[in-house]
Amino acid sequence: MEKIIKIISEELGIKPYQVENTIKLIDEGNTIPFIARYRKEATGGLSDEILRELGERLTYLRNLEKRKEEIVKSIDEQGKLTDEILKSVAIAKTLAEVEDIYRPYKQKKKTRATVAKAKGLEPLAKIIIDQEEKKPISEIAKLYINVDKLSSEDKENKDKVVNNEEEAIQGALDIIAEDISDNPEYRKQIKKICYREGLIITKASKEEKSNYEMYYDYSEAISKIPSHRILAINRGEKEEFLKVKLEKNENKILELIQKDILKGENQFTEMLKLTIEDSFKRLIEPSIDREIRTDLTEKAEEKAIKVFGQNSKQLLLGAPIKGKTVMGFDPAYRTGCKIAVIDETGKVLDYTTVYPTEPQNDVEGAKKELLKLIEKDKIDMIAIGNGTASRESEMFVSDMIKEANREIHYVIVSEAGASVYSASKLATEEYPDINVSIRGAISIARRLQDPLAELVKIDPKAIGVGQYQHDVNQKKLAESLAGVVEGAVNKVGVDVNTATPSLLSYVSGINSTIAKNIVKYRDENGKLKNRKELLKVPKLGKSAFEQCAGFLRIIDGDNPLEITAVHPESYEATEKLLSNIGFNKNDLKDKDKLTDLRTKLKEIDVEKTAKELQIGDMTLKDIIDELIRPGRDPREDMPKPILRSDVLKLEDLKEGMILTGTIRNVIDFGAFVDIGVKHDGLVHISEMSDKYIKNPSDIVSVGDIVKVKVIKIDMERQKVGLSMKV
């Protein structure tokens, strides 16, 4: 365990005590959100991102140690374990290294070398590799001819027969070739050469137009190729547009092995040179190419998953638009635009279908119907989905709201995953009497009101922010995104009396069964009055209560502290703190007293007070923050969506124009920005800042509002190039 602690500490640049305490907390069954929020003293205030990374590395390193033990045991059982092997296994840092060490001792399927060994040619192989024998090798090889010695039954089995000296020598060389290919040191050095000097080369496998044309005659250093290009090349190869190979310094590799094996000029030199070449070409190169491609893909996937996670987190934490009645507008052509109106609590007031787009073009009829709804339901905003027919719908809406008697703005909302949700079992349970097609419009409207509560109902992969999300390891992607959603939900907190089971199931310590039980308990017993009541919910025991209580809010309950993230374990200290400065918990509900309370809280000497209350400094700081802004939604600090009232067409754009846009997606090579025209514009990484930027996500996030300059307009391809160097 000490070794694991040391490795993680060095890799993540944190102190050993932080690693040790975190591992202990994880092993005790605590969730990452709980550790991040309520065990800051133990972890030294590590963020949930670092804690998740720590958890992943811990799993990997424990699996590595387990595999090392299995391999040592297996080699020992074969009676081949040496101090050198033990040392090599001990210092190996990756599973790939460990597997290379184990390679020579693995039970092999039938190979040319195993056949040669079955013929008894290992001693001859040793004579050749030792290169000391002066007698001609053909004479020695004659001793291994066995065709006359075998029974007629054995002669039938060609795998046992050595007919002549050439066969004997070839069999011995096959054994040597396999031994060379199994040598972990050679493999290690060859991989180093490939990574340092190798190239990835791609050629067209069919000459036709595709998204992969830039790779039809392409090469790049393995050491420099970025992850998005690896994933693009993989996809092009899978779709049979590209042929991919790794080019390496073959002479350097052969010399490396020759230098170790050859012992001056002798009768064996030429045959060993040919055997080394055969070993490299037939055995080493194909497997090392596979390993390098796998390694590059895994690293690229890891990066893509990370980017996808960061983008998803920003989308989930988008600022909610509270207290507004919203019309959800799901655009379409032939089947008509689906409309749903929801009030400020998310309740469906009205729904209909209108046909302002092709082929019906019933603009007047649609206008009349929607203006009537705007007046009747007192609509404040229209959320338009960004899918098919979105631009035509936007032009129709911007024209229509000019005739409304109320001030109305519209917002373009990502509708990614809305159709997946509409047809889901969950949507059927929520709206059993509403048509599938209308459910999409409800989802679009609700996404504007509360992005988090709505987006947790959708498979995170369908949220649509990221790069190559369908090409990466789906299990790892699902695990990563579940962690991202869990982190977002717990950061915001959840109203236990209004939350859906899908939202509750992401709360620390609550699984889908407990989430359903909470809703069932609520339906049968009315609103929960305090957090302690959660213990009456079936299957929600003390351990689950400890993990979830701080993240669940009770807005109009018995205890005003329960509109905050203060954990029940800190109630006593919190009440004592309030009492010390002349207040009590009920003052959190009194707006007049809140101003004075905030002033007093800001004046507190944290170090001194923490000692008096016998709690940690970090815990006290968190308690003070919660009391200063009770019931605060951290998403309120996020950029609000851009409200529009007029439409912008690609033809309206001019180079040099300065516009305000919303970051819709961040990828390795830049960011896509919604500036209100049909297609999002691209800010290439080189146009993000005058300074060098390694990673676009270092300076922008999904949902950010940015000022951009139009630097390129490609009318034919409907593409816009933007710059943030305004």
**Long-range residue pairs from 500-504, CB within 8 A, at least 24 positions apart, any chain:** 500/430, 500/453, 500/457, 502/426, 502/456, 502/457, 503/452, 503/453, 503/456
Choose among 465, 346, 460, 383: nearest CA to 704. Answer: 465
- Tokens standing for 634? 């951290």
Pairing, β 719-723 against β 705-714: antiparallel
| pLDDT for res 154 | 62
pLDDT of residue 116: 92
Q: Could you give the CA distance from residue 379 to residue 29 in angstroms, rounded to a whole number?
A: 47
At 160 the pLDDT is: 76
State whether 336 and 293 are in the same domain.
no
Q: Does residue 38 share a domain with residue 140?
A: no
pLDDT at 155: 60
Residue 50: what are its φ and ψ, rounded to 5°? -65, -40
Give the model's pLDDT for residue 134.
92
Asked if 296 and 330 sit in the same domain, the reply is no
Is residue 361 in a domain? Answer: yes
- Res 253 pLDDT > 70: yes
CATH number at residue 676: 2.40.50.140
Q: Measure Cα distances from 438 to 104, 236, 348, 391 in Å.
A: 62, 38, 11, 20
Least confident of 36-50, 162-176, 671-685: 671-685
The pLDDT tens digits of the residues spanning 165-186 come to 999 999 999 999 999 999 999 9
For the chain, the average pLDDT equals 91
- Residue ending a domain, choose from 100, 130, 147: 100
pLDDT at 228 over 80: yes
- Structurally, the chain folds into a number of domains equal to 4
pLDDT at 464 over 70: no
Rounded distance, CA 442 to CA 342, Å?
Answer: 7
Domain final position from 100, 133, 165:
100
Are 564 and 626 a contacting pair, CB within 8 Å? yes
pLDDT digits (tens, 9 = 90+) for 521-549: 999 999 999 999 999 999 999 999 999 99
Residue 92 binned pLDDT confidence (cut-offs 50, 70, 90)? very high
Q: Return the pLDDT at 318.
A: 87
Q: Which of 641, 667, 689, 714 is nearest to 227 (CA)?
A: 667
Is 707:658 a contact under the CB 8 Å cutoff?
yes
Residue 6 near residue 13, CB atoms below 8 Å: no
Examine residue 255 and state whether it is found in any structural domain, yes or no.
yes
Cβ–Cβ < 8 Å for 531, 504: no
Q: Is the pLDDT of residue 667 over 80?
A: yes
**Would 270 be classed as within a structural domain?**
yes
Q: Is the pLDDT of residue 647 over 70?
A: no
How far apart are the C-alpha atoms of 111 and 315, rounded to whole Å? 54
Is 231 among the domain residues?
yes
Whole-angstrom CA distances from 720 to 122, 649, 682 are 68, 12, 6
> For 348, what's the count of Cα atoms within 13 Å in the CB-facing half-sphere?
19
**Residue 612 is assigned to a structural domain of this protein:** no
The verdict on residue 265 lying in a domain is: yes
For the segment 573-587, the average pLDDT, to the nearest whole number, is 93
Cα–Cα dist 650/720, whole Å = 8
CATH number at residue 42: 1.10.10.650
Q: Is the pLDDT of residue 423 over 70?
A: yes
**The pLDDT of residue 151:** 66
Same domain, 270 and 355: no
Verify that 173 and 299 share a domain, yes or no. yes
Residue 181 sits in the same domain as residue 295 = yes
**Is residue 522 in a domain?**
no
Provide the CATH number for the domain around residue 209: 1.10.3500.10
User: Which of 7-21, 304-318, 666-680, 696-710 tops mean pLDDT?
Assistant: 7-21
Question: 364-368, 377-381, 465-469, 616-620: lowest mean pLDDT where?
Answer: 465-469
pLDDT value at 633 more than 90:
no
Domain holding 406: CATH number?
Answer: 3.30.420.140
Q: Are residues 11 and 74 in the same domain?
A: yes
Region 301-311 average pLDDT = 86
179 vs 114: CA distance, rounded Å = 11
pLDDT digits (tens, 9 = 90+) for 126-164: 999 999 999 999 999 999 888 777 666 666 667 778 889
- Residue 634's pLDDT is 87
283 with 178: CB under 8 angstroms? yes
What band does 552 get if pLDDT is binned at 50, 70 and 90? very high
Span of 79-93, 330-344, 409-423 with lowest mean pLDDT: 409-423
Residues 655 and 707 in one domain: yes
Same domain, yes or no, for 439 and 416?
Answer: yes
Q: What was the pLDDT predicted at 159? A: 75
pLDDT surpassing 80 at residue 500: yes
Residue 701 is predicted with a pLDDT of 86
- Residue 319 domain flag: no
Q: Cβ(448)–Cβ(321) under 8 Å? A: yes
Q: Which of 50, 75, 100 is the last residue of a domain?
A: 100
Do 355 and 249 lie in one domain? The reply is no
Please calculate the CA angle 305-307-311 and round it to the nearest 5 degrees.
Answer: 115
Full residue range of the structural domain in which residue 658 is found: 650-723
Give 219's pLDDT tier (boundaries 50, 70, 90). very high
- Same domain, yes or no: 252 and 178: yes
pLDDT of residue 45: 95
Residues 336 and 435 in one domain: yes
Task: Using the predicted structure, report yes or no on whether residue 323 has a pLDDT greater than 80.
Answer: yes
